[in-house]
Structure 1
């Protein structure tokens, strides 16, 4: 049985078809793969902050998080979004167990570099993999909300891609970043070309020249960090395509695979 960490982006969640959750359940029931879901929830957080007239801003794709924002982030991620995903999996005839990174010290965290500007934004320093494995052994699909905690009980807002990468690294799992686009693409002659694979150096070059920007920056940086820390494989795939996750797990060429040094399909 192989672990696969499936990261669901907040902007994609509302668009995912019921068949996507059925695919997760199929993988879980196959006994060949053991899926672990990590999710975001950015758009819902932004919407609630706006309705409460709380200003929100981003730096390099990360949300600036003070104490008021942190309360809203935790409420949305660990409450509304987490349980919504659990309900979807139950509707697809699966068994799911929703949990926050705070529970049991699942995601032991510390402030990210630049915390003076970002506030309570964190990075994961240790993952309680025993807890994840125990949930799986009891027959459940873990659904993890990316709120971290340190030894003093301070909570941190963890970018979902960063949390997913850390969990995949700790488990030695494949990492699949679910998006609403086919992968990383370049535009040539006014035509968008999805890259089948791309290296670390090429990702960094695309960030530098602005081809990768906004929320995609922490996504690809998390992918690279995972590869550096023993994640066997990282891919970005379109969750809106029917059976895309099944195709990926069957070894089909789909989405964009991010690699460290191998030859890629990137054309400048």
Structure 2
């Protein structure tokens, strides 16, 4: 089995992903790796909810999901965003296939708190065999985070959580969080590697601030199970790789000596 790299594309950056980004995914594949894409789509969901005059709210960072909100999220995630990514990957020379967690029971889910959050779910299982079969058939899976419950209901799943669980299930060697910045910067210099403890310190001292805070916290949250490190990388106007290596900030669990 090829070395799997799970790439999580946040909803806020998808519209700004450069041609170089998609060519970088192609270069990863050409180097013998197997990319798997997981994406969000929050801003696009917000736009359609506004157009359709459907109210929604966030509770502890999760979108309360009524049936109407769920239908809207599914239209955006599984339709517009997913297929746009598939088309762009194919333009870069990658044979890709768009899926949601409902397809082939790719991602089963259970409600987190139906009374409080509605149809917001957490992953229960991943159809690892199906994903491995797609990869073996030279396809790049592009996954929208809508899951299917044992009760037959669909559930809206946080894309960061979905990416972490999928990476863990596939024993992925790398999990990349694609953002609109090169990684974590300190005094204008890219930090190539930090521990979770160091990240918390950088937040406390104000080195990591604003919109970067939720991005690094999502990366830290995904450091569970077999995943020992994640990378925060730039998808906007630049290449993911340089001289064959992925460029960005690696966040690791282990405490290392400060240099």
TM-score by length of 2: 0.87
Change in CA separation of 1:162 and 1:213 when aligned onto 2, cut-off 3 Å: farther
Change in CA separation of 1:165 and 1:206 when aligned onto 2, cut-off 3 Å: same
Check whether the contact 1:28–1:34 (CA below 8 A) recurs between aligned residues.
yes
Alignment of 1:11-160 (within 5 A): 11-30=12-31, 32-112=32-112, 115-160=114-159
- Per-residue CA shift, 1:114-165, capped at 9, x if unaligned? 5543222111121111111111111111111110111111211111111111
Cα distance in 2 for partners of 1:206, 1:128 equals 37
Check whether the contact 1:235–1:255 (CA below 8 A) recurs between aligned residues.
yes
Residue 257, structure 1, aligned to residue 246, structure 2: no
- Per-residue CA shift, 1:2-31, capped at 9, x if unaligned? 10001111111111111211221232233x
Q: Which runs of 5+ in 2 are unaligned?
A: none
Alignment of 1:224-243 (within 5 A): 224-243=220-239
Check whether the contact 1:175–1:235 (CA below 8 A) recurs between aligned residues.
yes
From 231, 242, 245, the equivalent of 1:247 is 242
Q: How many residues align?
A: 256
Check whether the contact 2:20–2:237 (CA below 8 A) recurs between aligned residues.
no
Cα distance in 1 for partners of 2:82, 2:49 equals 18
Check whether the contact 1:198–1:264 (CA below 8 A) recurs between aligned residues.
no
Check whether the contact 1:61–1:216 (CA below 8 A) recurs between aligned residues.
no
Cα distance in 1 for partners of 2:37, 2:203 equals 27
Cα distance in 1 for partners of 2:179, 2:128 equals 25
Cα distance in 2 for partners of 1:26, 1:38 equals 18
Change in CA separation of 1:144 and 1:62 when aligned onto 2, cut-off 3 Å: same
- Per-residue CA shift, 1:151-186, capped at 9, x if unaligned? 111211111111111100111111001001222456
RMSD, aligned CA:
2.6
1:9 equivalent in structure 2: 10
C-alpha displacement of 1:196: 3.3
Alignment of 1:166-205 (within 5 A): 166-173=165-172, 174-185=174-185, 194-203=190-199
Change in CA separation of 1:13 and 1:183 when aligned onto 2, cut-off 3 Å: same
Check whether the contact 2:175–2:231 (CA below 8 A) recurs between aligned residues.
yes
Cα distance in 2 for partners of 1:207, 1:154 equals 39
Tell me the secondary structure at the aligned position of residue 16 of structure 2: coil
Cα distance in 2 for partners of 1:79, 1:258 equals 32
Check whether the contact 2:219–2:232 (CA below 8 A) recurs between aligned residues.
no
